[in-house]
Structure 1
Amino acid sequence: MTSRERTDFWSEHVTSYQARMGYSYPRTDDFHAGTIRQCTDTYQLVKFWSDTIKYTRTAGQVRHHPDEDYRLVLPLAGELVMRQDDQEIRLMPETGFLLTFATPFEALHDASTRTLIMSIPAQEVNGRLNRSSPIATGLDLTTGLGRVVGDMLTGLHKERDTLTGGQFDAVSDKLVELLCMLAAGDDRPTAPGHLTEVETVVRRYIREHAADPDMTGATLAQALGWSLRQVQLALQHGGTTPRELIREERLQLVRDRLRAPAYRHMTITELAYASGFSSSSALSTAFRQRFGVCPREMRHGGPSPSAIRSGVD
Protein backbone atom coordinates (compact mmCIF):
# COMPACT_ATOMS: atom_id res chain seq x y z
CA MET A 1 0.00 0.00 0.00
CA THR A 2 1.42 3.39 -0.99
CA SER A 3 1.67 6.33 1.42
CA ARG A 4 -1.23 8.04 -0.36
CA GLU A 5 -3.33 4.92 -0.06
CA ARG A 6 -2.51 4.69 3.64
CA THR A 7 -3.72 8.24 4.32
CA ASP A 8 -6.85 7.69 2.23
CA PHE A 9 -7.54 4.46 4.08
CA TRP A 10 -7.05 6.15 7.45
CA SER A 11 -9.50 8.93 6.57
CA GLU A 12 -12.13 6.40 5.54
CA HIS A 13 -11.35 4.16 8.51
CA VAL A 14 -11.75 6.90 11.12
CA THR A 15 -14.87 8.25 9.42
CA SER A 16 -16.46 4.80 9.57
CA TYR A 17 -15.80 4.62 13.31
CA GLN A 18 -16.73 8.20 14.15
CA ALA A 19 -18.32 10.71 11.73
CA ARG A 20 -17.55 12.79 8.66
CA MET A 21 -14.47 14.95 9.33
CA GLY A 22 -11.61 16.62 7.52
CA TYR A 23 -8.06 15.24 7.75
CA SER A 24 -4.86 17.24 7.46
CA TYR A 25 -1.62 15.24 7.14
CA PRO A 26 1.56 17.32 7.65
CA ARG A 27 3.47 14.34 6.23
CA THR A 28 2.05 11.87 3.76
CA ASP A 29 5.26 10.21 2.67
CA ASP A 30 5.33 7.56 5.41
CA PHE A 31 2.12 7.68 7.45
CA HIS A 32 1.51 5.05 10.15
CA ALA A 33 -1.54 4.55 12.36
CA GLY A 34 -3.65 1.91 14.05
CA THR A 35 -6.76 1.22 16.11
CA ILE A 36 -8.17 -1.31 18.57
CA ARG A 37 -11.98 -1.27 18.72
CA GLN A 38 -14.61 -2.58 21.12
CA CYS A 39 -18.27 -1.95 20.36
CA THR A 40 -21.87 -2.98 20.89
CA ASP A 41 -25.07 -1.48 19.55
CA THR A 42 -24.89 1.14 22.32
CA TYR A 43 -21.27 1.99 23.07
CA GLN A 44 -17.94 2.03 21.27
CA LEU A 45 -14.43 2.29 22.69
CA VAL A 46 -11.48 2.82 20.36
CA LYS A 47 -7.81 3.09 21.16
CA PHE A 48 -5.97 4.83 18.36
CA TRP A 49 -2.54 6.11 17.53
CA SER A 50 -1.06 7.71 14.45
CA ASP A 51 1.58 10.00 13.09
CA THR A 52 0.85 13.73 13.40
CA ILE A 53 -2.57 14.68 12.06
CA LYS A 54 -5.25 17.35 12.49
CA TYR A 55 -8.93 16.38 12.55
CA THR A 56 -11.49 19.06 11.69
CA ARG A 57 -15.26 18.90 11.86
CA THR A 58 -16.77 21.90 10.12
CA ALA A 59 -20.15 23.58 10.46
CA GLY A 60 -21.05 22.17 7.04
CA GLN A 61 -20.22 18.63 8.13
CA VAL A 62 -22.23 19.10 11.31
CA ARG A 63 -25.19 20.25 9.22
CA HIS A 64 -24.99 17.68 6.42
CA HIS A 65 -23.69 14.72 8.42
CA PRO A 66 -25.29 15.15 11.87
CA ASP A 67 -24.02 13.21 14.84
CA GLU A 68 -25.45 14.19 18.24
CA ASP A 69 -23.47 11.68 20.30
CA TYR A 70 -20.65 12.49 22.69
CA ARG A 71 -17.11 11.17 22.84
CA LEU A 72 -15.13 10.80 26.02
CA VAL A 73 -11.54 11.48 24.98
CA LEU A 74 -8.61 10.41 27.16
CA PRO A 75 -4.95 10.54 26.09
CA LEU A 76 -2.90 7.64 27.42
CA ALA A 77 0.39 9.16 26.26
CA GLY A 78 1.51 12.37 24.62
CA GLU A 79 -0.67 15.44 24.20
CA LEU A 80 -3.94 16.07 22.36
CA VAL A 81 -5.05 19.64 21.61
CA MET A 82 -8.83 20.15 21.43
CA ARG A 83 -10.48 23.34 20.12
CA GLN A 84 -14.21 23.85 20.40
CA ASP A 85 -16.47 26.82 21.15
CA ASP A 86 -13.53 29.26 20.97
CA GLN A 87 -11.71 27.36 23.69
CA GLU A 88 -8.47 25.43 23.46
CA ILE A 89 -7.66 22.64 25.88
CA ARG A 90 -4.41 20.69 25.96
CA LEU A 91 -5.14 17.20 27.14
CA MET A 92 -2.45 15.18 28.84
CA PRO A 93 -2.74 11.67 30.31
CA GLU A 94 -5.31 11.59 33.17
CA THR A 95 -7.18 14.59 31.73
CA GLY A 96 -10.39 13.75 29.89
CA PHE A 97 -12.64 15.75 27.58
CA LEU A 98 -16.32 15.25 26.85
CA LEU A 99 -16.63 16.16 23.18
CA THR A 100 -19.77 16.60 21.09
CA PHE A 101 -19.78 16.05 17.34
CA ALA A 102 -22.83 18.31 17.11
CA THR A 103 -20.56 21.38 17.22
CA PRO A 104 -17.51 22.14 15.02
CA PHE A 105 -14.12 21.33 16.50
CA GLU A 106 -10.45 20.75 15.76
CA ALA A 107 -8.22 18.08 17.27
CA LEU A 108 -4.43 18.07 16.89
CA HIS A 109 -2.84 14.67 17.43
CA ASP A 110 0.93 14.20 17.36
CA ALA A 111 2.96 11.09 16.77
CA SER A 112 3.59 10.43 20.46
CA THR A 113 -0.09 10.43 21.40
CA ARG A 114 -2.08 7.32 22.26
CA THR A 115 -5.75 8.00 22.91
CA LEU A 116 -8.94 6.28 24.06
CA ILE A 117 -12.19 7.64 22.66
CA MET A 118 -15.53 6.33 23.87
CA SER A 119 -18.72 7.02 21.90
CA ILE A 120 -21.71 7.71 24.17
CA PRO A 121 -25.33 8.16 22.99
CA ALA A 122 -26.44 11.77 23.41
CA GLN A 123 -29.50 10.85 25.46
CA GLU A 124 -27.30 9.17 28.08
CA VAL A 125 -25.55 12.51 28.70
CA ASN A 126 -28.19 15.16 28.00
CA GLY A 127 -30.80 13.53 30.20
CA ARG A 128 -28.48 13.36 33.19
CA LEU A 129 -26.93 16.80 32.74
CA ASN A 130 -30.18 18.45 31.64
CA ARG A 131 -28.39 20.04 28.70
CA SER A 132 -27.62 19.56 25.02
CA SER A 133 -24.39 21.45 24.57
CA PRO A 134 -20.67 20.71 24.66
CA ILE A 135 -18.90 20.57 27.97
CA ALA A 136 -15.84 22.57 26.98
CA THR A 137 -13.67 21.77 29.95
CA GLY A 138 -10.97 19.34 30.93
CA LEU A 139 -11.95 16.60 33.37
CA ASP A 140 -9.43 15.80 36.09
CA LEU A 141 -9.14 12.03 36.25
CA THR A 142 -6.37 11.91 38.86
CA THR A 143 -8.38 11.90 42.11
CA GLY A 144 -11.76 11.06 43.59
CA LEU A 145 -14.58 10.34 41.20
CA GLY A 146 -12.44 11.36 38.23
CA ARG A 147 -9.92 8.65 39.00
CA VAL A 148 -12.70 6.07 39.22
CA VAL A 149 -13.96 7.13 35.76
CA GLY A 150 -10.45 6.98 34.28
CA ASP A 151 -9.74 3.58 35.81
CA MET A 152 -13.03 2.21 34.49
CA LEU A 153 -12.30 3.47 30.98
CA THR A 154 -8.79 2.03 30.84
CA GLY A 155 -10.04 -1.16 32.50
CA LEU A 156 -12.66 -1.61 29.78
CA HIS A 157 -9.92 -1.49 27.17
CA LYS A 158 -7.55 -3.79 29.02
CA GLU A 159 -10.23 -6.44 29.61
CA ARG A 160 -11.60 -6.31 26.05
CA ASP A 161 -10.85 -9.97 25.40
CA THR A 162 -12.65 -11.22 28.51
CA LEU A 163 -15.81 -9.08 28.64
CA THR A 164 -19.04 -10.11 26.98
CA GLY A 165 -21.14 -7.55 25.14
CA GLY A 166 -23.54 -7.40 28.05
CA GLN A 167 -20.73 -6.87 30.53
CA PHE A 168 -19.21 -4.16 28.33
CA ASP A 169 -22.54 -2.30 28.22
CA ALA A 170 -23.12 -2.72 31.97
CA VAL A 171 -19.74 -1.21 32.84
CA SER A 172 -20.23 1.51 30.24
CA ASP A 173 -23.62 2.42 31.71
CA LYS A 174 -22.09 2.88 35.16
CA LEU A 175 -19.10 4.75 33.74
CA VAL A 176 -21.39 7.23 31.95
CA GLU A 177 -23.44 7.77 35.12
CA LEU A 178 -20.29 8.65 37.06
CA LEU A 179 -18.92 10.69 34.17
CA CYS A 180 -22.02 12.88 34.14
CA MET A 181 -21.71 13.43 37.89
CA LEU A 182 -18.10 14.47 37.31
CA ALA A 183 -18.93 16.75 34.36
CA ALA A 184 -21.65 18.45 36.39
CA GLY A 185 -19.24 19.14 39.24
CA ASP A 186 -21.05 16.65 41.49
CA ASP A 187 -17.82 14.96 42.54
CA ARG A 188 -16.84 17.76 44.94
CA PRO A 189 -17.95 16.05 48.14
CA THR A 190 -16.16 12.82 47.26
CA ALA A 191 -12.94 14.46 46.09
CA PRO A 192 -11.19 13.48 49.35
CA GLY A 193 -12.41 9.97 48.68
CA HIS A 194 -14.28 9.60 51.97
CA LEU A 195 -18.07 9.36 51.89
CA THR A 196 -17.98 9.04 55.66
CA GLU A 197 -16.60 12.59 55.89
CA VAL A 198 -19.46 13.85 53.74
CA GLU A 199 -21.94 11.94 55.85
CA THR A 200 -20.53 13.55 59.02
CA VAL A 201 -20.97 17.06 57.62
CA VAL A 202 -24.50 16.35 56.40
CA ARG A 203 -25.53 14.86 59.75
CA ARG A 204 -24.14 17.84 61.60
CA TYR A 205 -25.97 20.29 59.36
CA ILE A 206 -29.29 18.46 59.76
CA ARG A 207 -28.89 18.32 63.53
CA GLU A 208 -28.17 22.04 63.72
CA HIS A 209 -31.08 22.99 61.43
CA ALA A 210 -33.64 20.34 62.37
CA ALA A 211 -36.15 22.96 63.51
CA ASP A 212 -36.27 24.55 60.06
CA PRO A 213 -39.63 23.43 58.63
CA ASP A 214 -38.48 24.12 55.06
CA MET A 215 -35.40 21.90 55.20
CA THR A 216 -35.34 19.11 52.63
CA GLY A 217 -32.63 17.05 51.02
CA ALA A 218 -32.48 19.54 48.16
CA THR A 219 -32.23 22.63 50.37
CA LEU A 220 -29.51 21.21 52.59
CA ALA A 221 -27.54 20.08 49.51
CA GLN A 222 -27.78 23.59 48.13
CA ALA A 223 -26.73 25.10 51.44
CA LEU A 224 -23.68 22.85 51.59
CA GLY A 225 -22.78 23.51 47.95
CA TRP A 226 -23.18 19.87 46.89
CA SER A 227 -25.63 18.01 44.69
CA LEU A 228 -28.63 16.18 46.06
CA ARG A 229 -27.26 13.00 44.49
CA GLN A 230 -24.03 13.28 46.47
CA VAL A 231 -25.91 13.88 49.71
CA GLN A 232 -28.05 10.83 48.99
CA LEU A 233 -24.97 8.71 48.24
CA ALA A 234 -23.26 9.81 51.45
CA LEU A 235 -26.29 9.01 53.62
CA GLN A 236 -26.93 5.77 51.77
CA HIS A 237 -23.38 4.88 52.77
CA GLY A 238 -24.55 5.39 56.36
CA GLY A 239 -27.76 3.41 55.91
CA THR A 240 -30.29 6.25 55.75
CA THR A 241 -31.79 8.94 53.51
CA PRO A 242 -32.12 12.74 53.83
CA ARG A 243 -35.85 12.43 54.55
CA GLU A 244 -35.37 9.78 57.24
CA LEU A 245 -32.49 11.61 58.90
CA ILE A 246 -34.34 14.94 58.99
CA ARG A 247 -37.34 13.24 60.63
CA GLU A 248 -35.11 11.44 63.12
CA GLU A 249 -33.30 14.62 64.18
CA ARG A 250 -36.60 16.45 64.61
CA LEU A 251 -37.93 13.64 66.78
CA GLN A 252 -34.78 13.72 68.86
CA LEU A 253 -35.17 17.49 69.21
CA VAL A 254 -38.77 17.14 70.43
CA ARG A 255 -37.81 14.40 72.87
CA ASP A 256 -35.05 16.55 74.37
CA ARG A 257 -37.36 19.55 74.66
CA LEU A 258 -40.08 17.50 76.32
CA ARG A 259 -37.58 16.63 79.05
CA ALA A 260 -36.17 20.15 79.43
CA PRO A 261 -37.75 22.44 82.10
CA ALA A 262 -37.15 25.42 79.83
CA TYR A 263 -39.83 24.14 77.42
CA ARG A 264 -42.46 23.21 80.02
CA HIS A 265 -44.51 26.30 79.16
CA MET A 266 -44.94 25.21 75.51
CA THR A 267 -47.89 23.10 74.37
CA ILE A 268 -47.34 20.00 72.24
CA THR A 269 -48.63 21.90 69.22
CA GLU A 270 -46.18 24.73 69.85
CA LEU A 271 -43.35 22.23 70.26
CA ALA A 272 -44.34 20.55 66.98
CA TYR A 273 -44.15 23.78 65.00
CA ALA A 274 -40.99 24.92 66.79
CA SER A 275 -39.29 21.63 65.93
CA GLY A 276 -40.01 21.57 62.21
CA PHE A 277 -43.22 19.48 62.12
CA SER A 278 -46.21 20.59 60.07
CA SER A 279 -48.75 19.76 62.80
CA SER A 280 -49.15 18.22 66.23
CA SER A 281 -50.84 15.17 64.70
CA ALA A 282 -47.88 14.60 62.36
CA LEU A 283 -45.56 14.84 65.35
CA SER A 284 -47.66 12.50 67.51
CA THR A 285 -47.84 9.81 64.82
CA ALA A 286 -44.11 9.88 64.08
CA PHE A 287 -43.19 10.14 67.77
CA ARG A 288 -45.26 7.12 68.77
CA GLN A 289 -43.80 5.07 65.94
CA ARG A 290 -40.29 6.00 67.01
CA PHE A 291 -40.49 5.91 70.82
CA GLY A 292 -43.61 3.85 71.58
CA VAL A 293 -45.40 6.68 73.44
CA CYS A 294 -47.02 9.95 72.41
CA PRO A 295 -45.33 13.28 73.26
CA ARG A 296 -47.81 14.00 76.05
CA GLU A 297 -47.07 10.66 77.74
CA MET A 298 -43.36 11.31 77.45
CA ARG A 299 -43.77 14.68 79.15
CA HIS A 300 -45.82 13.20 82.02
CA GLY A 301 -43.83 10.09 82.71
CA GLY A 302 -43.58 7.57 79.89
CA PRO A 303 -40.76 5.05 79.78
CA SER A 304 -37.60 5.68 81.71
CA PRO A 305 -34.86 7.78 80.14
CA SER A 306 -32.56 4.73 80.03
CA ALA A 307 -35.14 2.76 78.04
CA ILE A 308 -35.59 5.65 75.67
CA ARG A 309 -31.84 5.98 75.21
CA SER A 310 -31.51 2.30 74.42
CA GLY A 311 -34.29 2.65 71.89
CA VAL A 312 -32.46 5.48 70.18
CA ASP A 313 -29.27 3.49 70.05
Structure 2
Amino acid sequence: MCERRGSRVPGGTAHSGRSAGYVRTPHAVPGHGLGGQGKASTGITPGSMVLCDIDRPLTFAHDDGFLSMSLIMPADAIALRSRAAAEQPQLLSGARGLGHLVRQLVVTLQEERAEFSETTFGIACDQLLDLVCLAAEGGTDSAPADQRADVESSIRSYVSRHATDPELGVNSIVRALCWSPRYVRTVLQSADTTARDLIRRERLHLARSRLAGASWKAYSIAQIAHSCGFGSHASFATAFRREFGTTPGEARRGHGRRLR
Protein backbone atom coordinates (compact mmCIF):
# COMPACT_ATOMS: atom_id res chain seq x y z
CA MET A 1 0.00 0.00 0.00
CA CYS A 2 1.14 3.54 -0.76
CA GLU A 3 0.35 6.02 2.00
CA ARG A 4 0.14 9.80 1.79
CA ARG A 5 -0.33 12.13 4.70
CA GLY A 6 -1.48 15.72 4.65
CA SER A 7 -0.21 17.86 7.50
CA ARG A 8 -0.45 21.46 8.61
CA VAL A 9 2.56 23.67 8.15
CA PRO A 10 3.43 27.15 9.52
CA GLY A 11 0.86 29.59 8.28
CA GLY A 12 -2.06 27.28 8.97
CA THR A 13 -2.62 25.77 5.53
CA ALA A 14 -2.43 22.25 4.21
CA HIS A 15 0.56 20.98 2.29
CA SER A 16 -1.24 21.93 -0.93
CA GLY A 17 -0.97 25.60 0.04
CA ARG A 18 -4.75 26.11 -0.16
CA SER A 19 -7.42 26.11 2.51
CA ALA A 20 -10.00 23.97 0.79
CA GLY A 21 -12.11 20.88 0.62
CA TYR A 22 -11.84 18.38 -2.14
CA VAL A 23 -13.67 15.58 -3.83
CA ARG A 24 -11.42 12.61 -4.64
CA THR A 25 -12.99 10.58 -7.43
CA PRO A 26 -11.53 7.10 -8.08
CA HIS A 27 -11.66 5.86 -11.66
CA ALA A 28 -13.56 2.68 -12.41
CA VAL A 29 -10.53 0.42 -12.15
CA PRO A 30 -9.90 -2.48 -9.75
CA GLY A 31 -7.94 -0.40 -7.23
CA HIS A 32 -8.86 0.44 -3.66
CA GLY A 33 -7.94 3.13 -1.17
CA LEU A 34 -8.42 4.08 2.46
CA GLY A 35 -9.01 7.63 3.60
CA GLY A 36 -8.90 8.91 7.16
CA GLN A 37 -9.37 12.26 8.92
CA GLY A 38 -9.63 12.67 12.66
CA LYS A 39 -11.53 9.68 14.05
CA ALA A 40 -13.25 9.00 10.74
CA SER A 41 -11.90 6.58 8.14
CA THR A 42 -13.46 4.83 5.19
CA GLY A 43 -12.64 2.52 2.32
CA ILE A 44 -12.70 4.02 -1.17
CA THR A 45 -13.83 1.72 -3.96
CA PRO A 46 -14.16 2.30 -7.72
CA GLY A 47 -17.01 4.71 -8.43
CA SER A 48 -17.12 6.24 -4.93
CA MET A 49 -16.06 9.75 -3.90
CA VAL A 50 -14.68 11.34 -0.76
CA LEU A 51 -15.33 14.93 0.28
CA CYS A 52 -12.94 16.14 2.97
CA ASP A 53 -11.05 19.17 4.29
CA ILE A 54 -7.40 19.29 3.18
CA ASP A 55 -6.69 22.08 5.66
CA ARG A 56 -6.77 19.42 8.39
CA PRO A 57 -4.43 16.41 8.76
CA LEU A 58 -5.52 13.46 6.68
CA THR A 59 -4.22 10.05 5.68
CA PHE A 60 -4.75 8.51 2.27
CA ALA A 61 -3.49 5.01 1.48
CA HIS A 62 -4.02 2.97 -1.68
CA ASP A 63 -2.78 -0.05 -3.58
CA ASP A 64 -0.81 0.01 -6.84
CA GLY A 65 -3.89 -0.28 -9.05
CA PHE A 66 -5.59 2.80 -7.66
CA LEU A 67 -6.22 5.80 -9.95
CA SER A 68 -8.16 8.93 -9.01
CA MET A 69 -8.59 12.62 -9.67
CA SER A 70 -9.26 15.45 -7.25
CA LEU A 71 -11.35 18.60 -7.45
CA ILE A 72 -10.10 21.26 -5.02
CA MET A 73 -12.64 23.86 -3.83
CA PRO A 74 -12.48 26.84 -1.42
CA ALA A 75 -13.58 25.83 2.06
CA ASP A 76 -15.73 28.94 2.52
CA ALA A 77 -17.66 28.15 -0.67
CA ILE A 78 -18.51 24.73 0.75
CA ALA A 79 -19.48 26.08 4.17
CA LEU A 80 -21.77 28.67 2.58
CA ARG A 81 -23.71 25.92 0.83
CA SER A 82 -23.79 23.11 3.39
CA ARG A 83 -23.01 22.65 7.06
CA ALA A 84 -22.86 18.88 6.68
CA ALA A 85 -20.36 19.05 3.83
CA ALA A 86 -18.12 21.44 5.76
CA GLU A 87 -18.17 19.81 9.18
CA GLN A 88 -16.95 16.26 8.53
CA PRO A 89 -15.62 13.97 5.79
CA GLN A 90 -18.26 12.54 3.49
CA LEU A 91 -18.24 9.32 1.46
CA LEU A 92 -20.40 9.80 -1.62
CA SER A 93 -21.57 7.01 -3.88
CA GLY A 94 -21.09 7.69 -7.57
CA ALA A 95 -22.92 4.58 -8.68
CA ARG A 96 -26.29 6.14 -9.47
CA GLY A 97 -28.52 9.18 -9.14
CA LEU A 98 -27.09 12.51 -8.00
CA GLY A 99 -23.74 11.01 -6.99
CA HIS A 100 -23.30 9.50 -10.44
CA LEU A 101 -24.02 12.89 -12.01
CA VAL A 102 -21.42 14.56 -9.74
CA ARG A 103 -18.80 11.95 -10.62
CA GLN A 104 -19.41 12.28 -14.35
CA LEU A 105 -19.18 16.08 -14.17
CA VAL A 106 -15.87 15.94 -12.28
CA VAL A 107 -14.43 13.63 -14.92
CA THR A 108 -15.81 15.74 -17.79
CA LEU A 109 -14.44 18.98 -16.35
CA GLN A 110 -11.00 17.42 -16.14
CA GLU A 111 -11.17 16.01 -19.66
CA GLU A 112 -12.53 19.19 -21.28
CA ARG A 113 -10.63 21.78 -19.21
CA ALA A 114 -8.66 23.09 -22.18
CA GLU A 115 -11.90 23.88 -24.05
CA PHE A 116 -13.21 26.26 -21.35
CA SER A 117 -12.38 29.89 -20.66
CA GLU A 118 -11.59 30.78 -17.05
CA THR A 119 -15.05 32.33 -16.67
CA THR A 120 -16.88 29.33 -18.12
CA PHE A 121 -14.82 26.91 -16.05
CA GLY A 122 -15.58 28.90 -12.88
CA ILE A 123 -19.31 28.90 -13.59
CA ALA A 124 -19.27 25.15 -14.25
CA CYS A 125 -17.40 24.52 -10.99
CA ASP A 126 -19.91 26.62 -9.03
CA GLN A 127 -22.78 24.56 -10.46
CA LEU A 128 -20.92 21.35 -9.67
CA LEU A 129 -20.27 22.48 -6.10
CA ASP A 130 -24.02 22.99 -5.58
CA LEU A 131 -24.56 19.37 -6.60
CA VAL A 132 -21.69 18.10 -4.43
CA CYS A 133 -23.12 19.80 -1.34
CA LEU A 134 -26.63 18.59 -2.11
CA ALA A 135 -25.27 15.05 -2.38
CA ALA A 136 -23.42 15.51 0.93
CA GLU A 137 -26.73 16.49 2.54
CA GLY A 138 -28.13 13.14 1.44
CA GLY A 139 -30.19 14.70 -1.33
CA THR A 140 -31.49 12.85 -4.35
CA ASP A 141 -34.27 14.63 -6.17
CA SER A 142 -35.45 16.49 -3.06
CA ALA A 143 -34.21 17.73 0.28
CA PRO A 144 -33.58 15.09 2.98
CA ALA A 145 -36.91 14.42 4.70
CA ASP A 146 -35.44 14.35 8.20
CA GLN A 147 -33.95 17.84 7.75
CA ARG A 148 -36.60 19.43 5.56
CA ALA A 149 -38.92 20.53 8.39
CA ASP A 150 -36.08 22.14 10.39
CA VAL A 151 -34.71 23.94 7.35
CA GLU A 152 -38.16 25.16 6.33
CA SER A 153 -38.78 26.44 9.86
CA SER A 154 -35.46 28.31 9.82
CA ILE A 155 -36.29 29.91 6.46
CA ARG A 156 -39.76 31.00 7.61
CA SER A 157 -38.37 32.38 10.85
CA TYR A 158 -35.70 34.37 9.03
CA VAL A 159 -38.21 35.77 6.53
CA SER A 160 -40.54 36.77 9.37
CA ARG A 161 -37.76 38.64 11.19
CA HIS A 162 -36.51 40.43 8.07
CA ALA A 163 -39.72 40.96 6.09
CA THR A 164 -39.33 44.74 6.18
CA ASP A 165 -35.94 44.60 4.47
CA PRO A 166 -36.54 45.61 0.82
CA GLU A 167 -33.46 43.58 -0.22
CA LEU A 168 -34.78 40.35 1.31
CA GLY A 169 -34.59 37.48 -1.18
CA VAL A 170 -33.08 34.06 -1.83
CA ASN A 171 -29.52 35.43 -1.79
CA SER A 172 -29.85 37.06 1.63
CA ILE A 173 -31.54 33.94 3.02
CA VAL A 174 -28.76 31.60 1.87
CA ARG A 175 -26.04 33.95 3.14
CA ALA A 176 -27.63 34.09 6.58
CA LEU A 177 -28.54 30.40 6.91
CA CYS A 178 -25.55 28.91 5.03
CA TRP A 179 -27.59 26.78 2.64
CA SER A 180 -27.20 26.75 -1.12
CA PRO A 181 -29.83 28.53 -3.27
CA ARG A 182 -30.69 25.18 -4.84
CA TYR A 183 -31.29 23.59 -1.44
CA VAL A 184 -33.48 26.48 -0.22
CA ARG A 185 -35.58 26.31 -3.39
CA THR A 186 -35.93 22.54 -3.03
CA VAL A 187 -37.10 22.77 0.59
CA LEU A 188 -39.64 25.50 -0.21
CA GLN A 189 -40.84 23.65 -3.28
CA SER A 190 -41.58 20.63 -1.10
CA ALA A 191 -43.74 22.98 1.02
CA ASP A 192 -45.61 24.16 -2.12
CA THR A 193 -44.17 27.67 -2.02
CA THR A 194 -41.24 29.79 -3.21
CA ALA A 195 -39.05 32.36 -1.51
CA ARG A 196 -40.80 35.15 -3.42
CA ASP A 197 -44.28 33.95 -2.41
CA LEU A 198 -43.21 33.40 1.20
CA ILE A 199 -41.76 36.91 1.45
CA ARG A 200 -44.77 38.52 -0.22
CA ARG A 201 -47.26 36.79 2.09
CA GLU A 202 -45.25 37.68 5.18
CA ARG A 203 -45.14 41.34 4.12
CA LEU A 204 -48.85 41.39 3.29
CA HIS A 205 -49.83 39.97 6.66
CA LEU A 206 -47.55 42.47 8.39
CA ALA A 207 -49.12 45.31 6.39
CA ARG A 208 -52.63 44.13 7.28
CA SER A 209 -51.68 44.15 10.97
CA ARG A 210 -50.27 47.67 10.69
CA LEU A 211 -53.30 48.96 8.78
CA ALA A 212 -55.47 47.84 11.70
CA GLY A 213 -53.07 49.03 14.41
CA ALA A 214 -53.70 52.23 16.35
CA SER A 215 -49.99 53.09 16.41
CA TRP A 216 -49.95 53.29 12.58
CA LYS A 217 -52.99 55.54 12.11
CA ALA A 218 -50.81 58.58 11.40
CA TYR A 219 -49.12 56.84 8.48
CA SER A 220 -50.50 56.73 4.95
CA ILE A 221 -51.16 53.44 3.21
CA ALA A 222 -48.20 54.11 0.91
CA GLN A 223 -45.93 54.67 3.91
CA ILE A 224 -47.10 51.45 5.52
CA ALA A 225 -46.53 49.57 2.26
CA HIS A 226 -43.00 50.96 2.07
CA SER A 227 -42.33 50.12 5.73
CA CYS A 228 -43.24 46.50 5.00
CA GLY A 229 -40.74 46.19 2.17
CA PHE A 230 -42.92 46.99 -0.86
CA GLY A 231 -41.32 49.25 -3.42
CA SER A 232 -44.57 50.30 -5.12
CA HIS A 233 -47.95 51.32 -3.70
CA ALA A 234 -49.68 50.02 -6.82
CA SER A 235 -48.07 46.57 -6.65
CA PHE A 236 -48.83 46.44 -2.92
CA ALA A 237 -52.52 47.26 -3.48
CA THR A 238 -52.83 44.63 -6.21
CA ALA A 239 -51.14 41.94 -4.12
CA PHE A 240 -53.20 42.89 -1.03
CA ARG A 241 -56.51 42.57 -2.88
CA ARG A 242 -55.46 39.24 -4.39
CA GLU A 243 -54.45 37.87 -1.00
CA PHE A 244 -57.30 39.16 1.17
CA GLY A 245 -60.13 39.96 -1.26
CA THR A 246 -60.32 43.60 -0.24
CA THR A 247 -58.34 46.82 -0.72
CA PRO A 248 -55.89 48.26 1.80
CA GLY A 249 -58.20 51.25 2.27
CA GLU A 250 -61.19 49.04 3.05
CA ALA A 251 -59.08 46.98 5.43
CA ARG A 252 -58.01 50.14 7.25
CA ARG A 253 -61.61 51.33 7.60
CA GLY A 254 -62.75 47.90 8.71
CA HIS A 255 -65.10 47.55 5.71
CA GLY A 256 -65.20 45.09 2.86
CA ARG A 257 -65.36 41.35 3.04
CA ARG A 258 -64.06 39.52 6.06
CA LEU A 259 -60.30 39.04 5.68
CA ARG A 260 -59.02 35.50 5.31
Question: What TM-score does the superposition give when structure 1 sets the normalisation length?
Answer: 0.48
Which residue type is aligned with residue 101 of structure 2? D
Which residue type is aligned with residue 129 of structure 2? C
Aligned with 2:205: secondary structure?
helix
Aligned equivalents of 2:32, 2:24: Cα separation in 1 = 19
Which residue type is aligned with residue 205 of structure 1? Y
Cα drift, residue 176 of structure 1: 6.1
Structure showing greater radius of gyration is 1
Q: 1:288 — aligned with what?
A: 241
Aligned equivalents of 1:210, 1:218: Cα separation in 2 = 14
Aligned equivalents of 2:148, 2:130: Cα separation in 1 = 15
Aligned equivalents of 2:135, 2:163: Cα separation in 1 = 25
8 Å CA contact 1:187–1:230 kept in 2: the answer is no
Aligned equivalents of 1:203, 1:251: Cα separation in 2 = 14
**Larger RCO of the pair (alpha carbons < 8 Å, separation 6+):** 2
Give the fraction of aligned pairs with identical amino acids, expressed as a percent.
28
Which of 172, 186, 196 aligns to 2:100? It is 172
Aligned with 2:183: secondary structure?
helix
Q: Are the structure 2 counterparts of residues 201 and 221 from structure 1 closer, same or farther at C-alpha, using a change threshold of 3 Å?
A: same
**Match status 1:92 vs 2:43:** yes
Cα drift, residue 97 of structure 1: 3.4
Cα drift, residue 286 of structure 1: 0.9
Which residue type is aligned with residue 134 of structure 1? I
Aligned with 1:262: secondary structure?
helix
Q: 1:203 — aligned with what?
A: 156
8 Å CA contact 1:53–1:110 kept in 2: the answer is yes
Cα drift, residue 191 of structure 1: 8.0
The aligned runs of 1:1-313 (5 Å cut-off) are: 52=1, 72-73=25-26, 79-80=33-34, 92-93=43-44, 96-97=49-50, 109-110=62-63, 134-135=72-73, 149-150=92-93, 153-154=94-95, 156=96, 172-173=100-101, 180-181=129-130, 183=132, 193-303=146-256, 307-309=258-260
Which residue type is aligned with residue 43 of structure 2? M
8 Å CA contact 1:74–1:116 kept in 2: the answer is yes
Aligned equivalents of 2:259, 2:31: Cα separation in 1 = 61
Structure 2: segments with no counterpart, 5+ residues: 4-22, 52-59, 76-83, 106-126
Q: 1:36 — aligned with what?
A: none
Cα drift, residue 96 of structure 1: 3.0
What RMSD over aligned residues (CA atoms) do the two structures have, in Å? Answer: 4.7
Structure 1: segments with no counterpart, 5+ residues: 1-51, 55-69, 83-89, 99-106, 120-131, 157-167
Q: Are the structure 2 counterparts of residues 227 and 287 from structure 1 closer, same or farther at C-alpha, using a change threshold of 3 Å?
A: same
8 Å CA contact 2:99–2:135 kept in 1: the answer is no
